[in-house]
Amino acid sequence: PRRTSSKRVPRQMDTNPVAYWNEQAKDYDENIFSTIDEDTTKVITRTLDMYANKEEGPRGRCVDLGCGAGKYLPALASRFRHVVGYDLSPKLVHLARKEAVARGATNVEVGVRDLSKVWFVGGKATPRAFASGSDFVGDVTEMESYGFAVMANVLIAPVSDHVRTVMLENAYRALCPGGKLLAVVPSMESALYVNMRCAETNCASVYDVIISPTQS
């Protein structure tokens, strides 16, 4: 019998993340776990309630970094005066816009933007943060223009520690002084389960870092 190769099959998420997420958009609800829809403990909802703000200025502005199909946008729209969502997938951005319209969230804008690129240099937005043909809906003076930011399952992307640092720096510099970031990450149980299923199919897992942690 032919032996099965021990080499892990690379994920398209590694080599072409835009194509990967565009593909996931076809059956997003079936393929992707929605942390806010499955928030049975209401810890996410309570956090949003705690920092909700509809005043003019940065405190009433919220940004969803890596908004996907826009699952958080209706909840954010009901709690903040103005909401901006960004994702690197044009097809997910299309779904997010449809979600906002369907839920009557008229204070929401959504655009294509790559969180893994440096967004700000010297207080200005950098052109390389935007893919060719993308539509930037935010303000060019976005630095320190939001009172609240959301990053739901974004930091689990299979990227280097340097890229994760860039993502967090973009979030930090987008927030005004005293602004808050809600970062949602999977539980250890969820990560270990995904590792197990990927091992069964001989596919590299997004959570391989748990097995082979990054050296400090």
Half-sphere exposure of 47 (CA within 13 A, CB side): 15
Mean pLDDT of 45-60: 94
Per-residue confidence (pLDDT) for residue 39, from 0 to 100 = 86
Per-residue confidence (pLDDT) for residue 24, from 0 to 100 = 83
Contacts (Cβ under 8 Å, ≥6 apart) of 91: 21, 22, 25
Whether residue 146 is predicted with pLDDT greater than 80 in this model: the reply is yes
Q: Tens of pLDDT along 56-72?
A: 999 999 999 999 999 99
Q: The pTM is what?
A: 0.77
* Higher-pLDDT residue of 15, 194: 15
Q: Tens of pLDDT along 189-215?
A: 666 665 665 666 565 555 454 444 444
DSSP string across 133-191: T----S-TT-TT-EEEEEEES-TTSS--HHHHHHHHHHHHHHEEEEEEEEEE---HHHH
